[in-house]
A and B are shown apart, each in its own frame.
With several copies, the nearest count.
Chain A
């Protein structure tokens, strides 16, 4: 029985998890690094433990310190959030060994799905469609030529242990096959200590569509439909939506069933995501599985009407899935935009600093998952994401309208943000029409940074405000604030002679 959960994370996701804990009557335990003492997750939690210096590898990635905090607090379970230790097989094992429930899959599942070749093999064996290619390591130049020709150009050579684009080569022409394979192997060896590479057919400008699944320890697995994640900058998701504008009911049914098959193939327990590549002809291929909660999970929560964190906790505790597949229905449309402390107009330079003012957009159809507050200093050590803005509408158009309204009214000063950039995405024709793929950001790069409007009047008023502000700061202030002074005299008077309510 889970009564207390340590959240081995920080920022918005730590708060997100604590909210569900509180709703379930479960105590939450925060951990924090030196830079995070004033972070909201520390004072939002029921308890908080210091776990080390600011850099992640000395605190949030420090397994011993986290386990020690869990033991000291008497936590029954650890929720890893996303990032940090969430897909760390050794951490999952360690929790088990210490008698603490890890809210996530077993180390075996993490290992199988974390290695790309073993995941491919497992999926192929289970009848899941993968991008055409090999499921074996290329051992020789002969292998390379034979296999690439069989798969058909163009292809991607990928490192089995890969990640972050390393050990990856695009090969379009026959003459580049051998050099491409050799380069990928040597880069993979250098980066991961393992030169295993394999070949996949290149899917040109694909859609990135993922299915949410949840499984329990009683053999039940359901999917909660799709998320369209094709708006990416340098392989980082920027905007997600659900449903996908590309989807048809038939395709959804087929892909959903395949996602459940994939999860069942590894006896998956917990929340996970099956990522697919989908081409313009609606061919779809298993890409990889994320064995954790995704950043973009709220759009599924809103459209399907569920709480994924609660479901994670229930199944981790040995409980049954709270829903059958037929209970789950999509309603309306949801969009998430990720608010970053970065300056899109200066090459997306990160912008840590102190938040001066923040007015979070509220009202109908808006959910805002954040963690910052006025006066908070965004530290330099972690991800620049400061919040997630999520809109819901009865139609896709309404979800876009609401997102635009919320972005326009999200007032934040003190650090640079990408709020305007996100607004431009919503305004772009390709996004508005739903006709986009992973090439979206590149294709619309100029539009997204352009300044269409005429700001003459706004600029003049900015000057006027600055003029008045400077005038006030330097004391040349005529008779502003006189009212206030008059009023507060009453207070002093009241104090002096003493006051009583009868």
Chain B
């Protein structure tokens, strides 16, 4: 088994060389690791590499190819890049499916104010919507000149993180 895995800007090829039952021999790019890995609880791995001890906590993301991994209190965004992802990337869509035409908030919250209405013509940097969460308000703006295609929420609505709020074009 062999996979391309992406963390931030780095993409590495990870390949299982051998499963000895006790340890795994795994190649990351050119380096071979022989690790003793145990899942101590759901998604939490205790890894001994050359007797050095690591605890790595994997949280499933929005798909089964997308994780948020916590180790040493540092958060690593991990993407598994398989054929499908490669195809999308080759078409310039990236692995996370970024789409500049959909305005959303990365965090859940409440819609405080919608500054635009359907059909409005906007200039780059115009504020579209204000979202509040945990006593903090965030403004979301358009990156380039565009027109409001659709508004999917109303003021006062409670929203999920990454939920589409406004569509522009």
Contact = CB atoms under 8 A, between A and B. Distances in A.
Whether A and B touch directly in their complex, counting CB atoms under 8 A apart, is answered as yes
Interface of A: 30, 37-38, 42-49, 72-73, 341-342, 346, 349-353, 356-357, 373-376, 380-384, 407-408, 410-414, 416-417, 419-420, 423, 455, 457-474, 476, 478-479, 487-488, 490-491, 493-495, 497-502
A118 B37 CA distance: 49
B28 A464 contact: yes
Contacts of A476: 1
Nearest to B12: A463
Contacts of A501: 103-106, 140
Contacts of B35: 461, 464
16 contacts: A350-B107, A352-B107, A380-B158, A381-B110, A413-B68, A414-B59, A420-B74, A462-B78, A465-B37, A466-B67, A469-B58, A469-B67, A479-B21, A497-B102, A502-B103, A502-B141
A37 B26 CA distance: 20
A337 B165 CA distance: 36
B2 to A, nearest CB: 9
Contact of B64 (A356, A416, A470, A479): A470
Given A462-B56, A473-B60, A502-B140, 14 more contacts: A42-B48, A43-B53, A356-B59, A374-B41, A380-B133, A384-B135, A408-B72, A408-B73, A463-B28, A464-B24, A466-B78, A490-B160, A499-B104, A500-B98
A72 to B, nearest CB: 7
Given A46-B52, A419-B73, A461-B49, A495 B33 contact: no
A459 B107 contact: no
A72 B57 contact: no
B40 A411 contact: no
B133 A499 contact: no
Question: Main SS of the interface on chain B?
Answer: strand
Contact of A494 (B41, B68, B163): B163
B155 to A, nearest CB: 14
Nearest to B158: A380
A330 to B, nearest CB: 31
Contact of B133 (A46, A72, A352, A416): A352
Contacts of B12: 460, 463
A302 B63 CA distance: 46
Interface of B: 1, 3, 5, 7, 10, 12, 14, 16, 19, 21, 24, 26, 28, 31, 33, 35-49, 51-60, 62-65, 67-76, 78, 80, 93, 97-110, 128, 133-136, 138, 140-143, 158-164
Contacts of B142: 502
Contacts of A498: 93, 97-99, 102
Contacts of A352: 107-109, 133-134
A462 B102 contact: no
B45 A469 contact: yes
B53 A467 contact: no
A356 B43 CA distance: 10
A490 B109 CA distance: 14
Contacts of B74: 420, 455, 458
B37 A464 contact: yes
B55 A43 contact: yes
B37 A468 contact: yes
A472 B68 CA distance: 17
B133 A500 contact: no
Given A375-B40, A376-B40, A411-B57, A470 B65 contact: yes
A497 B55 contact: no
Contacts of B71: 458, 461-462
